Amino acid sequence: MLDVTHEEWLRRAEELDLSGVHHIDGADEPGGGGSYTVVSPRNGQVLTQVADGGHAEVDTAVAAARRAFDSGPWPRLTPIDRGRALLRIADLLEEHRDRLALTISLEMGKPITDAYAIELRAAINTFRWYGQLADKVTDESPHTAPDALALVTREPAGVVGAVVPWNFPLTLASWKVAPALAAGCTVVLKPSENSPLSALLLGRLATEAGLPPGVLNVVTGDGPTAGRAIGLHPDVDVLAFTGSTAVGRHFLRYAADSNLKRVWLELGGKSPNIILPDAPDLEKAAATAAWGIFFNQGEMCTAPSRLLVHSSVAERVTEAIVERARKLRVGDPLDPATEMGALVGEGHLERVRKHIGTGLHEGARLRTGGDRTLTESGGSFLRPTVFDRVDPGMRLAREEIFGPVLSVLTFEDLDEAVALANATEYGLAAGLWTSDLSTAHRVSRALKAGTVWVNCYEEGDLTVPFGGMKQSGNGRDKSAHALEKYTELKTTWIQL
**Dihedral, 387, 108, 41, 27 alpha carbons, nearest 10:** -160
- CB-based contact 121:129 (threshold 8 Å): no
Residues linked to residue 49 through DSSP beta bridges, in sequence order: 37
Catalytic residue among 301, 339, 458, 484: 301
Tell me, rounded to whole angstroms, the distance of Cα 375 from its chain centroid.
28
266 is annotated as an active-site residue = yes
Catalytic residue among 29, 107, 193, 266: 266
Contacts of range 246-255, beta carbons closer than 8 Å, 24 or more positions apart:
247/223, 248/473, 251/163, 254/228, 255/231
* Spatial distance between the Cα atoms of 71 and 158, rounded to a whole number of angstroms: 12
301 is annotated as an active-site residue = yes
> What single string gives the DSSP state of each residue in 138-171?
--B-----TTEEEEEEEEE--EEEEE--SSSHHH
**DSSP category for residue 473:** B
Secondary structure E strands in 134-249? 148-156, 159-163, 186-190, 216-218, 238-242
Closest CA to 331 of 271, 379, 282: 379
* Spatial distance between the Cα atoms of 407 and 395, rounded to a whole number of angstroms: 10
- CB-based contact 398:271 (threshold 8 Å): no
- Angle (CA) 450 455 459, round 5°: 55
Positions marked catalytic? 266, 301
